């Protein structure tokens, strides 16, 4: 994935059908991803801060199931 321009807001999303709860994302992006009682990732609803972009992209690239992705946040939605 190409580097996003900072003006472009995005948030992390999980495709729960693809996700097997392996948990690599929580290790690669510990400030963004936490796991639930069964080991499945919970990601923030808000857009990712610029300083967390690298972490988020690392987690997306590291997912063995390709279940994690960045989704552009519509400008109409508040970013936090």
Q: Which is nearer to another protein, 42 or 77 (CB)?
A: 42
Q: Which is nearer to another protein, 23 or 62 (CB)?
A: 23
Q: Which is nearer to another protein, 38 or 51 (CB)?
A: 38
Q: Which residues contact 40 (CB under 8 A, 6 or more apart)?
A: 14, 16, 19, 21
User: What distance in Å separates the CA atoms of residue 56 and residue 45, rounded to the nearest whole number?
Assistant: 13
Among all chains, which residue has been given the structure tokens 């988020």?
A: 56
User: What distance in Å separates the CA atoms of residue 62 and residue 59, rounded to the nearest whole number?
Assistant: 5
Q: Does 72 bind another protein (CB under 8 A)?
A: no
Which one of residues 1, 7, 37, 76 is an interface residue with another protein (CB under 8 A)?
Answer: 37
Which chain residues interact with another protein by CB under 8 A?
15-17, 19-21, 36-40, 42, 71
């Amino acid at each position: 994935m190409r580097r996003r321009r900072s003006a472009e807001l995005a948030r992390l999303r999980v495709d729960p059908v693809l996700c097997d709860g392996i948990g690599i994302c929580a290790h690669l992006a510990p400030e963004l991803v936490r796991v639930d009682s069964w080991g499945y990732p919970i990601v923030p609803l808000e857009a990712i801060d610029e300083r967390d972009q690298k972490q988020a992209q690392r987690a997306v690239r590291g997912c063995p199931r390709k279940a994690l992705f960045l989704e552009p946040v519509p400008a109409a939605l508040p970013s936090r």
